[in-house]
Chains A and B, each alone.
Chain A
Amino acid sequence: MGDTLRFRDDPVPDEPAVSLDAFLDQPDAASVRIEAGDDVRRLAPVLGRLKLAEVDFPKFRDGRGFSSARVLREMGYAGEIKATGDVLVDLVWFMRRCGFDSFAPNVPFNDDDVEAALTRYPHVYQHAADDLVPIWKLRHG
């Protein structure tokens, strides 16, 4: 299975992930693979049966997956969002903020690097998919 870093307690969904087109076609599919160019809003009518969205990063500098994750969370999706592919550990914090809660990078992360990345920033300037309080709110209560 490879090294997956996971920030959820619920059971790992074990259905294989299918493509977005296939997921929409198969009423019992529960895991979907989102390619970088896919439009996750197409999942809106079937979000209820989705348990795992694997969002792929073909190259780390292709940042479309960050938007895909945020959009999924904004649609109300509370299941697992996993980042796969060319994922850099230094961006783990920002990916968590976008709603990613598991990571299966091509090159496994070093635990120390993950810890450093997740604890690096004491605050955030703006809202995201998480519930962290932005700095402006701390300033004004």
Chain B
Amino acid sequence: MYRYDQYDHAMVQARVEEFRDQTRRRLEGKLTDDQFKPLRLKNGLYLQLHAYMLRVAIPYGTLNSVQMRKLAHIARKYDRGYGHITTRQNIQYNWIKLEEAPDLLAELAEVEMHGIQTSGESIRNVSADQYAGAAADEIIDPRPWAEMIRQMTTFMPEFSYLPRKFKIAVIASEADRAALRWHDFAVRIVKNEAGEIGFETYAGGGMGRTPFIAFKIRDFLPTSQILSYMQAVLRVWNRNARRDNIHKQRMKILVHELGEEEFRRQVEEEFEHFLTLGEDFPQAEYDRIAAYFAPPPFETGLAEEIDRSDPAFAAWVDQQVVAHKAPGYAIANISLKPIGQIPGDISAEQMDLVADLAERYSFDELRATHAQNLVLPHVRKQDLYAVWTALHEAGLGEANLDLVTDIIACPGLDYCSLANARSIPLAQKLSERFADPARQQDLGELKIKISGCINACGHHHAGNIGILGVDRKGAESYQLLLGGSGDEDTSQAKIAGPGFDEAGIIDAIERAVEQYRSIRTPGERFIDTYRRVGMDGFKEAIYG
């Protein structure tokens, strides 16, 4: 993975000192909250329901054991013993004190971590495929480009105050494991007929209160021109977006208003202009970064067979372990969704454990996923049993990847000042209701995503079953949506009908699931059945 050089260190250190100075001025009353807020948001520090919340960047979801141990230490020293993996591969702490935040950021900088541009109207964390470098189906590892884009978009002067946040994703396979088209800007690395590597570029996706799926602007962009191209996209948006209504300022709104043709035309025109400025990074810089992502020294002649005599281990292998491109190796998914527990939360002790496992069994590498889980990307098959035993003991051995209990939930009204309803208790109850392993296997792939408000941080628009928490006359109420997807067959979920209270929506989901079971054809996942029969095929079963 990427390692900072003296320049990266110097920049993060400068940022730490800048924030220390800004915090001092705020605490002395020299900055009002209005003035301080955008500055602290540029470092990922929110003021939430119970305390300040800090979002730490995990660039494209990759981190090592030293970093994970530091995150555990931060949880103990500055927070209340745990953290939360987010739907953008970052980690959040909920109980931060402003007066301690500068020291916290200084400690993070020691291990090449920060909260830079993780909130506010910034260019946010670049997300990528959590199996990068291990997946058999990737053209190249997308992470060198993700890292290049990260550096290119850090402290971009022209885009100091964008109309809204800007989210980027990078993938390098046909399969989309990063929800590409739900991003403001995304690239898929492809090869053209001449065998050259380039980018398919997409723009205008996003969740929130008006979801849109990104459209393809270009079939092929030479990779060397990505900075010019991104500056063009950002400038078109920065100059043309409205600034009078915060709910209408994401780039997806501009794309929708201009139309794809006109947006493309403006981007291409601006792109031609930027090319004349000669600001693109050279091949040598890509090569320098790519060298950090060279494959680890995989052993050869390793055992391929896995001893499945322990049925609990076998069940875990079947659900959590994915084929690796190197013979003898496997990708091991770690579920942060134990039955009935808070999805995506991880204790300091669990962080230390997975750090140890990464260091010992996965070439010191870990990944965070946008489904709020973790991955050990390079595990020898012969080590899987030891890994599972340790995970199982730590409460991290659930075998539910992409199943009905692998629920994505935002923090909701238990933590977030924007929320209308609590999402976590609902996730816990749903998890318990569907806990039976045989039932989970029978239902197969079924992605439930819960957002506690229309800001959609739980990605409910992309849920096979989506749940949206709303405020109905001061009481928590939940809307049921069906048919969303964040995979390469991206689709937006649709509202099924009137809302429910918490008990009601759990029963409604039971009815939807039973309807699926009763009409599915062999091999059909829930989403496939929904696409075949539409909402009409489910509405009566849900509402009677």
- Docked-complex contact A126 and B152, CB < 8 angstroms: yes
22 examples of A-B residue contacts, CB within 8 angstroms = A36-B243, A63-B121, A64-B238, A64-B243, A66-B161, A66-B238, A67-B238, A88-B38, A94-B155, A121-B11, A121-B14, A122-B10, A123-B10, A125-B151, A125-B154, A125-B155, A127-B277, A128-B156, A128-B157, A135-B8, A135-B151, A140-B288
Chain B residues lying within 8 Å of A122, measured Cβ to Cβ, are 10-11, 14
Whether, in the assembled complex, A15 has its beta carbon less than 8 Å from a beta carbon of chain B, the answer is no
Q: How many whole Å from B491's CB to the nearest CB in chain A?
A: 33
Whether, in the assembled complex, B5 has its beta carbon less than 8 Å from a beta carbon of chain A, the answer is yes
Q: How many whole Å from A129's CB to the nearest CB in chain B?
A: 8
Chain A residues lying within 8 Å of B193, measured Cβ to Cβ, are none
Task: Among B18, B39, B238, B282, point to the contact of A136 (Cβ < 8 A).
Answer: B282
Among B14, B156, B273, residue most surrounded by chain A Cβ atoms (within 10 Å) = B156
Whether, in the assembled complex, A78 has its beta carbon less than 8 Å from a beta carbon of chain B, the answer is no
- Docked-complex contact B235 and A67, CB < 8 angstroms: yes
Residues of B contacting A: mostly: helix
Whether, in the assembled complex, B318 has its beta carbon less than 8 Å from a beta carbon of chain A, the answer is no
Instruction: Kindly supply a per-residue 1/0 record for chain A positions 102-133, scoring 1 wherever the CB is within 8 Å of any chain B CB and 0 otherwise.
Output: 00000000000100100011111111110000
Whether, in the assembled complex, A3 has its beta carbon less than 8 Å from a beta carbon of chain B, the answer is no
- Docked-complex contact B155 and A140, CB < 8 angstroms: no
- CB contacts under 8 Å to B, within A4-50, are 36-37, 39
Task: Give me the interface of A with B, judged by CB distance under 8 Å.
Answer: 36-37, 39, 59-64, 66-68, 70, 74, 88, 90-91, 93-95, 97-98, 113, 116, 120-129, 135-136, 138-140
Query: Could you tell me the distance between the alpha carbons of A39 and B174 in the complex, rounded to whole angstroms?
Result: 40
Query: Could you tell me the distance between the alpha carbons of A10 and B340 in the complex, rounded to whole angstroms?
Result: 70
Query: Could you tell me the distance between the alpha carbons of A61 and B7 in the complex, rounded to whole angstroms?
Result: 29
- Docked-complex contact A94 and B157, CB < 8 angstroms: yes
Instruction: Kindly supply a per-residue 1/0 record for chain B positions 271-299, scoring 1 wherever the CB is within 8 Å of any chain A CB and 0 otherwise.
Output: 00100010101101100100000000000
Residue total for B at the interface (Cβ-Cβ under 8 A): 40
Task: Among A88, A95, A136, point to the contact of B157 (Cβ < 8 A).
Answer: A95
Whether, in the assembled complex, B227 has its beta carbon less than 8 Å from a beta carbon of chain A, the answer is yes
Instruction: Kindly supply a per-residue 1/0 record for chain B positions 203-242, scoring 1 wherever the CB is within 8 Å of any chain A CB and 0 otherwise.
Output: 0000000000000000000000001000000010011000
- CB contacts under 8 Å to A, within B21-79, are 21-22, 25, 35, 38-39
Q: How many whole Å from B76's CB to the nearest CB in chain A?
A: 31
Q: How many whole Å from A131's CB to the nearest CB in chain B?
A: 12
Chain A residues lying within 8 Å of B2, measured Cβ to Cβ, are none
